[in-house]
Amino acid sequence: MALYAVTIFLSAFLLFQVQPLIGKYILPWFGGTPGVWTTCLLFFQLALLGGYAYAHLVVSRLRPRQQGGVHLGLLLLAAATMPIIPSEAWKPVDAANPVGRILGLLAATVGLPYLLLSTTGPLLQGWFARANSGQSPYRLYALSNIGSLLALLTYPVLFERYLRLPTQVWLWSGTYLLFVLSCGAVAIGLRRTALSEPLPDGTATAADSPRPTAGRLLLWLLLSGGGSLMLLAVTNHMCQDVAVVPFLWVAPLSLYLLSFILCFEYERFYDRRVWGLLLALSMVGLLQALLNRTALSLTTQIALYCGLTFTCCMVCHGELVKLKPAPRHLTLFYLLVSAGGALGGVAVALVAPRIFRGYWELHLGAWLISLLLAALAARDGWQRRRTTWPTLTPVGRANAALFGLVGLVGLWFLADGLLTNVRGSQLNSIAAVRNFYGTLQVLDEYRDDPLQRQHILCHGQTRHGYQFLDPTRQDWPTAYFGPQSGVGTAITRHPRRGQRPLRLGVIGLGAGTLAVYAQRQDSLVFYEINPLVNELTSRYFTTLHRARERGAEVVELIGDGRIVMEQQLARGEAQRFDVLVADAFSSDAIPTHLLTQECAALYWQHLQPDGILAMQCTNRYLDIAPVIRQLALQHGKEALYFNVPGDPASGTFNSRWVVATSNSAFLNDPEVRRRVTPWPDGAAPILWTDSFTNLYQVLLR
C-alpha cells in the first residue's frame, strides 16, 4: 500500500507541476498571451485522456504480467527523454495562429513523460483493486489530487519565486527519474504477483456492479466537461485582466483539484441543497463582476471568479461522485471523466474563438451548469415523487411546484443578466473580432457631436487608442501619447529632430496614434503580433495613411516584437532607431518577456548610441516602472519618469512612461527636465530576467 501511495502521489505532483513550468518556459515564444496557457491546458487534457484510455485498455485487455512489462518498457523509454528542455527550433517564424505549433512543441518535449504520469492514477488503482479486493481504490484517487494540489500551490510561492527556470527543469527531470524507479518497482511486483486474470470485455459483470447505462455515461461526460469548461473560461477571463502568469493559472486549477479531493474523499461534504444555494450566490457574484467591473477592486474580482470556479466545480464533481460506478468499472469512469475534461478544453481553446467575438464561453458555461443542476434535481425529485405524489397533501404539492417555479425564474434572471452583459459589451461597436491573441473591437462614439466623434480601438477591456473623425483633429496625439507625455517628449525633443529625419520603432501598433509624430522622410517601423490589429487599424483609422501622405516611410511588421527583432539581428539588420517605443503594457495582460534584462539588451542593439528608449508603464493593476528603471541602470542609462495627467480638451489620458537614454543633450534639455516627474518613494529598481519574473513585486495594492 505504501509503494502504491508514494508512486501515485509522486506522479500527481509531477503531473501538475510541469504544467505551469513548461507553460512559463514557452510563454515568451508566443507573445505572452492568455491563449498560450489555454492551449497548454488543452494539450494536458488531451494527454490525460490518452493516458486514461491507455490505462483502461491495458487493464481490460492484457494479463497482469503483460501489463507490468508493457508499462515498464514505456517508463524506461520516457526516462531517456530527460531533461524536458524545449528546442528553440519550435519558436514561431510568423504570427499565424500558433495553436498547432504549441501542441506539437508540447508533444515533442513532454508528450511521453506526461502521458505515463497521467496513466499512473487509474492504472495503479486498477492494479490495487485486483490485488486487494474489498478495499476501495478511490482513496488513492483523492491522494493523487492532494499531490496535484500541493504541486500547484508550491509552484508560484516556492519554485517560481526562488528557482530559475533552468534549475526548475533539471529538478523536475531528476524527480521524474525517481518516479520511474518507484513505478517500475510496482510494475515488477505486479509481474511477480499471482493476480486473477482480467475479465475480457463483454463478459457478464457481477450482480453488484451492473454496466453503466448510456444516460449515466452521458452524465459523466457532461459533468466533467462542465467543470473543465469553467476552469478554462475563468482562467482566460482572469488572465485578460491582469497578466498571463502562473499565479493566475494556478489559483483556478487548484480550486478545481480541491473540489475533486473533497468530493471523492469526503462524499458527505457535498450536499446538493447547500451547494445549489452557493451556486446561486456565486452567479450573483458573477453578474456583479461582469456588470460592475470598473467599480470593483482587483482583489474582489479575483475572489468572485475563484468563488465561481470552486462552486461550479463542486457541483459538477459532487454530482459526478453520486454517479460513480463500482471499482470494476473505474477505468471506464476515469476515461469518460477525462474525455469530458478534454471536451471542455476543446470548447474553450478551439471552438469558442471561432464562434464568439468575446469571451462569452464563461457566460454560457455558468448558465449551462446551473441548468444541469436544476435538471438533475428535477429528475431525482420526479423519481421520488412518482411514488409519493399521491400521498402528498395539497400544501406539499404546492411547495413542490413553487420550488420548481423558483428554479425556472432563477434560470431566467441569470440568462437575462448574462445576455445584458454581452449586449453591453457590443454597445457602439462597429467591428468585433477574436483570435488566439484576444478580442478586438472598434467603437464609434459621440456620433451626435461632429467635433467629438471618434473611433476607439479596444483590446478586451483596454482602450489602446482612438482618433477623432473631425478632419481638423485627426492628427492629434490622443490617449497615452500626448505631446507632454514621455513618448511625446522623446520624439519631439530628440536633439536630432529638425537636423535630419528620425528613425522610429514602435512595439505595439494599437490605433497607430504615434504615426501622427512622423514627419517628411522619417522612417517608422511598427511591430505588431496580432494581424487583426493591422486590419482594423487600416480599415477604421487614418493615422498610418496620413503619415504616408506627409512623406514618411511607414512599415508594419507582423509578429512578436522581440522575436522579429531577434530575427533582424540574426540577419545583420540592426535597425539603428533614434527612438524605440515599447507600447505593449497598457493592456491588463502584459507581456512580461518584453521587460527582461535579455530583452533590454536587444533594444539597445537596435538603437543608435544616443538613441532613446521610451516604455509605457500605464496600468491599472501593475507598477512596472521600477522594472524598466532597473533595465536602464543595467545598461548604464539614465531613466526619467513621466507621470502626466490627462487633458479631456486635447483628448489625452493620464499616462506614465519611463524614458531611458545616455543622450546628454536630451537629458540636459530644460524643457525635458521641466516635464520629468520625480520617482515615487519606494520605487526601488527591480530586475527581471528571462528565467525569473515575479508579479508580486509590482502589484498595485
Residues 178 and 44 in one domain: yes
Q: Is 448 domain-assigned? A: no
- In eight-state DSSP terms, residue 677 is B
* Residue 199 pLDDT > 60: no
Top mean-pLDDT range of 36-45, 135-144, 305-314, 336-345: 305-314
Q: Is the pLDDT reported for residue 578 higher than 60?
A: yes
β-partners of residue 333 are none
User: Does 455 fall in a domain?
Assistant: no
Chain mean pLDDT for the chain: 85
DSSP 3-state percent helix, strand, coil across the chain (nearest 5): 60, 10, 25
- Of 683 and 112, the structure prediction assigns the larger pLDDT to 112
Does pLDDT of 205 surpass 50?
Answer: no
Question: Do 338 and 258 reside in the same domain of the chain?
Answer: no
Q: What is the pLDDT of residue 203?
A: 39
Q: Are residues 338 and 313 in the same domain?
A: no
Could you give the C-alpha distances from 187 to 61, 118, 273, 332, 492, in angstroms and in order?
Answer: 16, 16, 44, 21, 71
Residue 207 banded pLDDT, cuts 50, 70, 90: very low
Q: What is the pLDDT of residue 206?
A: 43
Q: 412 with 511, same domain?
A: no
The per-residue pLDDT for range 170-195, each reduced to its tens digit, is 999 999 999 999 888 887 776 665 44
**pLDDT by residue (tens digit) across 500-543?**
999 999 999 999 999 999 999 999 999 999 999 999 999 999 99
Mean pLDDT for 568-595 is 86
Q: Is residue 127 part of a domain?
A: yes
- Res. 93: pLDDT tops 80: no
Q: Residues 266, 414: one domain?
A: yes
pLDDT of amino acid 195: 46
Tell whether 525 and 574 lie within a shared domain: yes
pLDDT of residue 155: 87
Per-residue pLDDT, averaged over 105-131, amounts to 84
pLDDT above 90 covers what percent of the chain?
42
Q: What's the pLDDT band for 131 if we cut at 50, 70, 90?
A: low
Whether 623 and 570 share a structural domain: yes
8 Å CB contact between 357 and 432: yes
Whole-angstrom distance between the N-terminal and C-terminal Cα of the chain?
Answer: 47
CATH number at residue 87: 1.20.1250
C-alpha cell recorded at residue 500? 535630419
CB count in 10 Å sphere of residue 199: 12
| Distance of alpha carbon 15 from the chain centroid | 18
pLDDT of residue 266: 78
Query: Is residue 366 in a domain?
Result: yes
pLDDT class of 22 with cuts at 50, 70, 90: very high
Name the least confident of 91-105, 168-182, 435-449. 91-105
232 belongs to a structural domain: yes
Residue 586 is predicted with a pLDDT of: 63
Domain match, 235 and 157 both? no
**Residue 148 shares a structural domain with residue 77:** yes
> What number is the average pLDDT over the span 273-299?
85
Please state, in angstroms and rounded to a whole number, the distance separating the CA atoms of residues 266 and 318: 10
Question: Which residue from 241, 69, 261 is spatially nearest to 148, judged by alpha carbons?
Answer: 261
Give residue-wise pLDDT tens across range 235-275. 888 776 555 565 677 788 889 988 988 887 777 889 988 99
Residue 652 is assigned to a structural domain of this protein: yes
Label residue 196 by pLDDT band (50, 70, 90): very low
Q: Given pLDDT bands bounded at 50, 70 and 90, which one contains residue 204?
A: very low
pLDDT confidence of residue 36: 85
Looking at residue 577, its pLDDT comes to 97
| The pLDDT of residue 308 is above 90 | yes
Reported confidence tier of residue 700, pLDDT bands at 50, 70, 90: low
The string of pLDDT tens digits covering residues 612-633 is 999 999 887 788 899 999 999 9
Tell me which H or E stretch contains 464. strand 462-468
Q: Which of 103-112, 148-157, 418-427 has the highest mean pLDDT?
A: 103-112
Residue 684: other Cβ atoms inside 10 A: 10
272 and 171 within one domain: no
Residues 287 and 401 in one domain: yes
Which amino acid does the sequence have at 574?
A
Instruction: Indicate whether 198 pLDDT > 50.
Output: no
Query: Where among 344, 374, 406 does a domain terminate?
Result: 344
The answer to whether residue 229 sits within a structural domain is yes
Least confident of 49-53, 303-307, 386-390, 661-665: 386-390
- Which domain does 246 fall in, by range? 224-324+356-385+397-425
- What ranges in 529-656 are assigned the alpha helix state H? 531-540, 543-549, 561-570, 597-605, 625-634
Structure confidence at residue 665 (pLDDT): 96
Dist CA 6 CA 1 (whole Å): 9
> Is residue 403 pLDDT above 80, yes or no?
no
**pLDDT band at 671, cuts 50/70/90?**
very high
Task: Write the CATH number for 525.
Answer: 3.40.50.150
Q: In the chain, count of helices (H) and strands (E)?
A: 23, 11
Least confident of 467-476, 606-615, 686-695: 686-695
Position with higher pLDDT, 58 vs 561: 561
Do 304 and 286 form a contact (C-beta atoms < 8 A)?
yes
Share of the chain above pLDDT 70, in %: 89
pLDDT per residue as tens digits for the range 147-173: 888 998 888 888 888 888 889 999 999
Residues 131 and 233 in one domain: no
In angstroms, rounded to a whole number, what is the distance separating the alpha carbons of residues 617 and 698?
A: 11
* Burial bucket for residue 699 (CB in 10 Å: 0-12, 13-18, 19+): middle
The pLDDT assigned to 395 comes to 56
pLDDT at 193: 59
pLDDT in tens, 357-391: 888 898 999 999 999 988 888 887 777 666 665 55
Lowest mean pLDDT among 104-113, 312-321, 688-697: 688-697
Note whether residue 95 is domain-resident: yes
Domain total for the chain? 3
